[in-house]
Amino acid sequence: MDAYLLDWGNLLLRWVHVITAIAWVGSSFYFVFLDNNLVKPKSPDLLEKGVDGAMWAVHGGGFYNPQKYMVAPKTIHSHLHWFYWESYSTWLSGFALFTLLYLYNASTYLIDKSLMAWEPSHAIAVALCFLVSFWLIYDWVCRLFGFRKNGEAIVGAIMLVVITAATWLACHWFAGRAAFLLVGAMIATAMSANVFFWIIPGQRTVVAAMTSGKPQSPEFSSKALAIHGKRGKQRSVHNTYFTLPVLFAMLSNHYSFTYTHEHNWLVLVLMMLAGAAIRQYFVLRHGFRHGRNGNPIKYAIAGIAVILAVIVWLAPANKPASKPAPQATAVKAPDTATILEISKTRCIMCHGAALQMKNIRLDSIEFVDKNAALIYQQAVVTKLMPINNATGITPAERDQIAAWFQAHK
């Protein structure tokens, strides 16, 4: 029953996380699209109101006229919508899912003893430090270099080094699957922290200045309000570049050829870099339509080239077919009873009568035969099971499973 309830918790949290992430990413992409498509109006009435950019759009049978004010309109005549719960809900549901899947089962899913044989409590503490430390480093770098000359390029270069180092450490300290997710969660934490610590507080300050009705104070001066807007814009732009790398890190968990590779850290860094480059293309192409930014196609080409290079790099080697062994020395394929003995030693801790993870049992000849294709796929092809080889299955046992499946398929 515990495994059954854990599966339901996994499903429901994953569902909520995906829904809220779609809402957050969608709103983030939309506002970046607006910023790159708004055109400074020529109409005197709009200029008098302080409109800095406007556009027309059509959707769902209606026409929309978004307008952007710098720093803020004099008055707000209708409900003011705040875009922050999408971010908070995504992080909260994601952290809950990470806790349920990896921290609660740290000895199984987080720790790979062939990499680092530490206690679950230590592994959990270090994993959580990744989330906090990355935010502190990133925030310090942004505040120190963000508004200097060529500041964004400096911040980008430093953070590329930091992310590469963190990815290398995660992939050498934790199980590959957990390491990829941890790096994604680390960056996503910084994204939500941007919203929580800088973007929303800055916007609240601007709104307070508009609605207070008090004479301007140093806190509410035009220069001070402009800084809030500039910083909020900076962190929002960073978030949009983080998005595709984070999404790849999350989705890669379903494709073991990425995180089980010998140089899995480099696979992740290259794919995240490709995602950021492709996102740069989409950010700039709207401005290109209005005669700004130059042609950004080079970024898309660079991102696609990196992805193609990784695909070629990870492609399975086409080994020449080996000569068949002489009949006299041929090894007889094991029977199902032999595979059952392997299962009793390596598998039934999670797939027995007491605990049936993923609703799979492997504690009888009937169940082993029924799940033959699944056993072969997980234990031989992808080598995902046992998870992080926690039960110590040997290469010889995997070979036995392969020979059995080939003989009985």
* Enclosing domain of residue 397: 334-408
pLDDT at position 219 over 80 = no
pLDDT of residue 215: 52
User: 287: pLDDT confidence band, cut at 50, 70 and 90?
Assistant: low
> Are residue 87 and residue 188 in the same domain, yes or no?
yes
> Are residue 363 and residue 232 in the same domain, yes or no?
no
**Cβ neighbours for 408, distance < 8 A, ≥ 6 positions apart:** 333, 336, 369, 372
> Are residue 206 and residue 347 in the same domain, yes or no?
no
Residue 320 lies in a domain: no
pLDDT of residue 45: 84
Q: How does DSSP classify residue 111?
A: -
CA–CA gap between residue 231 and residue 405 (Å, rounded): 60
> Greatest CA span in the chain, whole angstroms?
99
Give the least confident one: 48-62, 178-192, 259-273, 340-354. 340-354
Q: What backbone phi and psi angles, to 5 degrees, belong to 41?
A: -75, 160
CA–CA gap between residue 83 and residue 77 (Å, rounded): 18
User: 324: pLDDT confidence band, cut at 50, 70 and 90?
Assistant: very low
> Are residue 197 and residue 310 in the same domain, yes or no?
yes
Last residue of a domain, which of 314, 345, 378? 314
The alpha carbon torsion through 137, 143, 146, 147 (nearest 10 deg) reads -170
Averaged pLDDT for residues 386-392? 77
H or E element that contains 51: strand 51-54
pTM given for the model? 0.80
Last residue of a domain, which of 314, 348, 369? 314
User: 292: pLDDT confidence band, cut at 50, 70 and 90?
Assistant: low
> Are residue 201 and residue 338 in the same domain, yes or no?
no
Give the least confident one: 251-260, 262-271, 311-320. 311-320
**Cβ neighbours for 296, distance < 8 A, ≥ 6 positions apart:** 280, 281, 283, 284, 285, 288
Residue 239 lies in a domain: yes
Last residue of a domain, which of 314, 343, 378? 314
Q: What backbone phi and psi angles, to 5 degrees, belong to 40?
A: -60, 125
Residue 255 lies in a domain: yes
> Are residue 286 and residue 402 in the same domain, yes or no?
no
pLDDT of residue 327: 43
> Are residue 226 and residue 338 in the same domain, yes or no?
no
pLDDT at position 322 over 50 = no
Residue 349 lies in a domain: yes
The alpha carbon torsion through 130, 135, 140, 145 (nearest 10 deg) reads 110
**The two structure tokens encoding residue 367:** 């169940």
The structural domain count of the chain equals 2
Residue 179 lies in a domain: yes
Give Cα separations from 241 to 218, 247, 248, 280 (angstroms).
33, 11, 12, 7
pLDDT of residue 366: 87
> Are residue 167 and residue 302 in the same domain, yes or no?
yes
pLDDT at position 20 over 70 = yes
Give the least confident one: 60-64, 131-135, 304-308. 60-64
> Are residue 279 and residue 394 in the same domain, yes or no?
no
Residue 57 lies in a domain: no
Residue 284 lies in a domain: yes
Residue 55 lies in a domain: no
> Are residue 120 and residue 243 in the same domain, yes or no?
yes
Which of 177, 196, 202, 182 shows the shortest CA–CA distance to 254?
177
Strand partners, 59: 62
pLDDT at position 359 over 80 = no
pLDDT at position 182 over 90 = yes
> Are residue 264 and residue 377 in the same domain, yes or no?
no
pLDDT of residue 318: 61
CA–CA gap between residue 326 and residue 356 (Å, rounded): 42
> Are residue 350 and residue 266 in the same domain, yes or no?
no
**End-to-end alpha-carbon separation of the chain, Å?**
32
Taking only the tens place, the pLDDT of each residue in 43-88 is 888 888 888 889 899 988 899 989 888 766 777 777 888 888 999 9
pLDDT at position 319 over 60 = no
* Residues belonging to the chain: 409
